[in-house]
Structures are given as structure tokens and as C-alpha cells.
A and B are shown apart, each in its own frame.
Chain A
């Protein structure tokens, strides 16, 4: 009898504490940014890296823009687009001046509709779906990172340069994966590379060994592995069991980096090639500064997610600063016409026709790391110029 009463009392206290709304600044005495990203669930680790990159971008400018302090609010989307939309709706309701979002293209596409309607700028630094700055694009949505067509073009070109003759495709069974594979197949055909087989695996498959076995037996010398999240690790780890990277050239988008290499282990990683959104070895002054600051704060080298997040956010904040006025429309206009001469990857140019950053494309291959460092590290083997990846704005 007594215990329930105590529990109830503490619950009531919690209730009460929660019900009192914390003091919120409604007047624009702060520059509010809401980061709507996964901080738990399958992509929590990616979101965590993005958060770090953004944090550096804000700290770098003393936490201020236009003379106002930046208030950064993080909303955990739990790797669920449903939650992502819910959190974005709330962030908008609380009057954020900028939304920074998501890993998943699906979530970004949904959130874009909300931010576009509320005329709030949305900065995308990871979601790659073509529609974000294409068919579904709107004035307020900007992407500073790669697009799927861009990554596809790189894979096709890379396969050709590696003189792959026959390609096998293993594709995650979802919309973006299927669309990407269809486009890639067309590209490969135009380059004279035969597609000898394809397999669609449900997202979250716990066993790829059989599919990989089929790919090896197909006689293909190249494998396009278009899977996402934890499935990358499952597939490559099980590939390691049969020394897959030594049997065929494995390539894909976001398929390999230092983080994934650590989770997969050397057997499944070494020799795997992947597009890279960013790499810490980029030889630019801004990148050197960023890597130093990142190492000082977090004690490790920045991942590609952190690098891209940093780059997008610092570019946006610099642009806002440059307008010198508190006016969202002015910021958007300025960003649309903006050229980033000193991004971490060299020159990035915002394409005003679609709010998409035009930039170089990187391709890397996993190699054994130096003694004492991580066992697997990425080596940038190809850098594709922007002109090869983008058509000029009409």
C-alpha cells in the first residue's frame, strides 16, 4: 500500500515538473537551429558524427552569427522517418530559423515539404536522393553533399577504369536502392560493362552469404553492392568469410570508410572501393584547420559524415553572416548564389537552378592502416572533377 503511493507521488512530481514549460525565447534574440538527425537506432552512429561536425562549425565562429548567439537544439529521430517528421514538425512549431537534417532520404523528402511550406531553410548534408534537389526541390532546401546520380556516375566510371567486364548487383530492396540500380545499369551498359546478375535483398537481412556465393559463382569480376546501414557490415563481414574482396572488385556508394572498416574487420574490408563524401586527408587549408580542431575536441579523425556536416553548416552560417540582415529570404537568396572557394574539398558552387552544391567526387579503396592506427584506412584513388559529374544549369 505504501509503496504504490510513493511511486505515484514521484510520478506526480515528474508530471508536474514536465508540465511547466521551460522558458522559451520567442523574440529573435537567438539564432535557433534544430538538428533533426538519428542519434539512436541503426544510424545513431552516423547522426552522432554529424552532430560533432556541426558542433565544430558553430564553435569555430564563437557560437554566434549576426551578433546573436546560436542556439543549437538536437532532436533524435531514432532512425525512423515517422519520428523524424514528428520532431521536425515540433522544431518548426518552436520557431527554428534553420533546420539541419537527416541521413535517410525518405525523412528528408518528408521534412522538406514541411519546411518549404513554413519557408524555413533546410540544410541537407547527407541524404542523396535525386528528388531532394530535383523533382521535389523547393526554394528553401539546400544540399551541400553528393547526389545519387553523381555517385552512380562515379561508380560506373570507376568500374570502367578498373577494367571490370562483368558486373553483379546486390541491391537493398527499397525504392531508392532499386532506382539507383536501374540508373547504374543503364550507365554500365553505355560503358560496355555487362550486368550478369542481380539480387534484391530485404533491408535487415541477417544472411548475405548465399547471395554472395551466387555472385562469386556468376563469373562476374565486379560486384556493385548497393545496401545501407548495418546491412553493409553484415554483407561485407560475411564476404570476409569467403575472402570476397580478393575474388571480385567490390564497389558501391558509402560502402566503406574507416568506421565501417573497423566494424567489418580487415578480411572483408581490404580492397573494397566506395564513393567518399569527404576524406580527412583532403589537402585544403580549411580542412587542415577542421581536422585539427576535431582531433583536439574528440580525440579522433573526422569521418565523412562529420566532414560533410561541418562543411555544409559552416558554409550556411558564413552566408547568413555575409547578408548582415535578419531576413530569412535574404539568407536564402544569398545561399542560392553562393560560391564556397575554400570548402574542405576545394571549390563548391551552389547551383541556383536546383539548390545543389556542385563539387568534386572522391572514390576510395580500403587499404591496411599504418602500424598503431586503425587496421583499415581509406585511400583516395580517384578524384572526379565537378565538370564530369554535373551538367550545367539550364
Chain B
């Protein structure tokens, strides 16, 4: 049972990151290799707020706002000129972005590993189903589920979501209808980075906050969004659950083989259904 909860908590964290990644890819056509660095920045921002105010909840609220502003700046300065370029240029630019973000964090917070204290009500564990389950993990699962619901509602049921979808499907048409596509793009990117920021804040009490935390998570996120189908949010949920559970149960039964199994599954997915398990068939030629 605890394995299941832990698996879910990993999945929720992965979802928060993959959702932003896949949103940005699906609506802007950009593969953001710097998404992991953004998540890392989010964790440091959350650390700073939590360390200054001694309030985790405040950090959880402030971090996405700060990151949204950072995202908007990045979009304006770096991405706007290269929307129409091939993917390799996006790799180059976002790789440069990784270096810049890491340098910024190093200049501000140094190399010291940081940590966010678990919020008072959530420290320790509860005894359910015959095992000890960390209260914070349970919170992460509930919070993550709420974020999934909110995101779906936002994209599929609100006017804002409609505008977002319209602009990504047909930018020219949306423009004719009076939508400022430039602004919408900025908003989408900011939303993606804000989600990564939330991910960073959530990860703070579970994982060491360090410069490398983005690197190690970004590959998992790529796996999630490939399995789910590039640009597909529903797929990202499924992919995150699949990878989260693989990691948790793999840890339980065969820790040494998890990585190989994950990548193996991924390569087979790409071979058999390159559009992802939930993707719409894209023209690959």
C-alpha cells in the first residue's frame, strides 16, 4: 500500500513537470530542454520564501507567480525569435538557457544543498493499512490530483482554454478573430513554467534542492510525454502514472533494473506507436 501511495506521489510530481512540457510543445511547437532547469529554479525560489517566512504554504503560492514572470521574460527574449526555426535551434537556445539559469542559481544560492522543512501539520507519518505512510506524500497525491482536475477544467471548460486551443490549432485564424497570438503564447509559456515552479516547491520537502535536480528529472519527463503522445495532456497523466508506478514497484521488486526497463518500454513504444499511446497519428514523414 505504501508503495502505491509513493508511486502516486512520484507520478503527481512527474505530471506537474510533464504537463508544462507537453503544453509548451503542443501549443508552441517548442521542445523546452530547459524545463528541468526551470523546475530547479522553482525549488530554490520556494526554498528562499520558506526560509525567510518560515511558511511553506506561502512558498507554494508565491513560487508559481515568480516563475510565471520568469517564464514570460524567457518567452519574450529567447523563444519569440525562433518559433519558426527547426528543432535543433530550439535545442541550442534552450540548452543555453539551462546554462544561464544554473549560473544564476549558483550566483544567488551557491553550491550548498538546500532543504525545505516539511510543513508542521504534515511531518511524520500516519499508520494506515498496516504500514507507515508519510503524511506529506499523502498531501502530494491529493494536491496533484487537484491540479490535474483544475488543469483539465481550465483547458476544456473555460473561455481562456478555448482561446489557448484556438491559437494553437490555427494561429492565423485566431488572429483574424481578434486574439493576440503573441500574448497567448507568452501566457502558455508562463503557465508551463509556473507548473514547473509548483513542482519545484512540492519537491522541496522530499528531495535535496541542488543544481542537478533538473537534469535528473527532465529525461523522465521526456519519457512521460513521449509515452503519452507529444502535446497531449491526457496522455501526460497516463504516462506519469505509468512511469511513477513503474519506478515505485520497480524499486520494490528489482531496483537494479528500473532504468533499463523504463527505457526499454519507451523504445518499444516509439517503435510500435511512435505517436505515443494516446497520441493522434502525426505525419511522421
Contact = CB atoms under 8 A, between A and B. Distances in A.
B256 interface: yes
A202 B132 contact: no
A177 B16 CA distance: 34
30 contacts: A41-B212, A201-B255, A205-B251, A207-B6, A207-B10, A207-B248, A209-B137, A210-B6, A210-B248, A211-B255, A213-B2, A213-B131, A230-B210, A230-B212, A233-B113, A233-B208, A234-B207, A241-B118, A241-B125, A242-B132, A242-B134, A243-B124, A259-B112, A260-B113, A262-B115, A263-B115, A263-B208, A264-B115, A264-B208, A265-B118
Given A210-B6, A234-B208, A267 B255 contact: no
B113 A45 contact: yes
A210 B247 CA distance: 10
Contacts of B211: 40-41, 44
Contacts of A206: 10, 207, 216-217, 247
Interface string B213-257: 000110000000000000000000000000000011001100110
Given A210-B248, A263-B115, A42 B132 contact: no
Contacts of A262: 112-113, 115
Given A209-B137, A241-B136, A242-B132, A42 B114 contact: no
B255 A44 contact: no
Nearest to A38: B111
A209 B140 CA distance: 14
A375 B278 CA distance: 49
A209 B255 contact: no
A200 interface: yes
Interface string B113-144: 11101100001110000011010110000000
Interface string A40-62: 11101100100000000000000
Contacts of A204: 216
Nearest to B106: A40
A237 interface: yes
A221 interface: no
A238 interface: yes
Nearest to A48: B111
A200 B134 CA distance: 23
Nearest to A265: B115
A354 interface: no
Contacts of B132: 213, 216, 242
Contacts of A40: 106, 111, 211
Contact of B125 (A48, A230, A242): A242
A248 to B, nearest CB: 13
B247 A237 contact: no
A199 interface: yes
A200 B125 contact: no
Contact of B251 (A211, A230, A243): A211
Nearest to B123: A267
B216 to A, nearest CB: 6
A202 B263 CA distance: 14
A263 B113 CA distance: 5
A233 B111 CA distance: 14
A214 interface: yes
A40 B217 CA distance: 19
Contact of A241 (B115, B137, B258): B137
A210 B134 contact: no
A177 B131 CA distance: 30
Pairs of residues from A and B, 4 with the lowest C-beta to C-beta distance, nearest first = A263-B113, A241-B134, A233-B208, A210-B251
A321 interface: no
A173 interface: yes
Contacts of A242: 124-125, 132, 134
